[in-house]
Amino acid sequence: MKVYFVSLGCPKNLTDTEVLMGQYVAAGYEITDHPAEADVIIVNTCAFLKTARDEAYQTIKELAQWKKKGKCRELYIAGCLPKWLQKTAEKKSLSGDKYIDGYIDSIHLYDHCAPRIKATEPWYAYVKIAEGCNNRCTYCLIPTIRGPLKVRKEADILAEVRGLIKRGVKEIIYIAQDTTAYPNFDRLLQKSARLPGLHWLRVMYAHPAHLSEKTLKVVATEPKIVKYLDLPIQHGCDKILMSMKRRYSRLQLVNLISKIRW
């Protein structure tokens, strides 16, 4: 049987899709790039913003048509949208929901032994080091959808990176809802940057409140770490930052940026 995947949203969702693909291949399915050939279609959805939910509804509606005109017998929805519908008790039905056969819980932390089909270009790979978030910013749905912070063991992460290097990956990109909330993140970065065969190491989703001087020093001094930080600042007004519960002030943010530039 053939299965067709669509992955919407962020790189964290993409890693979930890669693990899902690995599980289906391990179970004997063949992945196809053409929905017309698929016996099973799986849509891994995003629900962080209304625009993302609208995109998910539209994608599901379009793919549901293959149950009429293609080989598809089963259509499943995975990722954030089912969680959002469950948590928010949303009454709006999914477009084409009469064709949906069920929901797949794809939101979890994998380990380095999990079967995974890499969907990025050969030279780079995303590695999820944690799942969920404890920040509880007032505007953010992540804790509602993804739950509280859960982290992978350092040895497990390093084992995955070594395996990816053996497969020819040159750049590793560490991702999580809040990468810098990872305990002893500076130590993980330093150990990773010194692995033989790795060319570049990049960090995404670095919350300003958790970006320590130790981490900045490692980024600055380790030559393999890309001098780049994905830093969600959100705002520069103390009153709004407080209402957003971002846990830092404008002055703290200015000082942090000064340290980064220095």
**Residue 89 confidence (pLDDT):** 60
Strand-pair partners of 203: 174, 229
User: Which of helix, strand or coil describes residue 123?
Assistant: coil
Q: Where are the domains of the chain?
A: 2-104, 124-261
Percent of the chain at pLDDT > 90 equals 80
User: Tokens for 186?
Assistant: 């500076």
Residue 90, pLDDT above cutoff 70:
no
Q: For 26-30, 64-68, 180-184, which range has the lowest pLDDT when averaged over its residues?
A: 64-68
Q: What phi, psi does 126 have (nearest 5°)?
A: -85, 140
State the Cα–Cα distance between residues 107 and 20, nearest whole angstrom: 10
What DSSP string describes 55-74? HHHHHHHHHHTHHHHSS--E
Task: Enter the CATH code of domain 124-261.
Answer: 3.30.750.210
CB-CB contact of 215 with 225 (8 Å): no
- Tell me what pLDDT residue 21 has: 97
The predicted structure's pLDDT at residue 215 = 96
What pLDDT is recorded for position 63?
94
3-state SS assignment for residue 42: strand
3-state secondary structure string across 184-225: CHHHHHHHHHCCCCCCEEEECCCCHHHCCHHHHHHHHHCCCE
The tens digit of pLDDT for each residue in 116-163 reads: 999 999 999 999 999 999 999 999 989 989 999 999 999 999 999 999
User: Three-state SS for 110?
Assistant: coil
Cα 203 to Cα 115: distance, rounded to the nearest angstrom: 24
115, exposed or middle or buried, with CB in 10 Å at 0-12, 13-18, 19+?
Answer: middle
Strands 130-131 and 200-203, by their bridges, are: unpaired
Residues 6+ apart with CB under 8 A from 174: 127, 129, 188, 189, 192, 201, 202, 203, 204
Q: Which string of b and e fits 147-164 if b means at least 16 CB within 10 Å?
A: bebebbebebbbebbeeb
Predicted pLDDT at 91? 47
How is residue 76 written in tokens? 């499943």
pTM beyond 0.85, yes or no: yes
Mean pLDDT across the chain, nearest whole number? Answer: 92
pLDDT of residue 95: 46
* Residue percentage of the chain with pLDDT more than 70: 96
Reply yes or no on whether the pLDDT at 93 is more than 60: no
Backbone angles phi, psi at 10, to 5 degrees: -85, 170
Report whether pLDDT(164) > 90: yes
Average pLDDT over residues 99-109: 86
State both tokens at 4.
């067709």
Q: What CATH number was assigned to the domain covering residues 2-104?
A: 3.40.50.12160
pLDDT at 99 over 90: no
CA dist 84 to 104, 145, 157, Å? 13, 6, 28
Taking the C-alpha atoms of residue 193 and residue 134, their distance in angstroms, rounded to an integer, is 27
Give per-residue pLDDT as tens, 176-211.
Answer: 999 999 999 999 999 999 999 999 999 999 999 999
Helix (H, G, I), strand (E, B) or coil at 117: coil
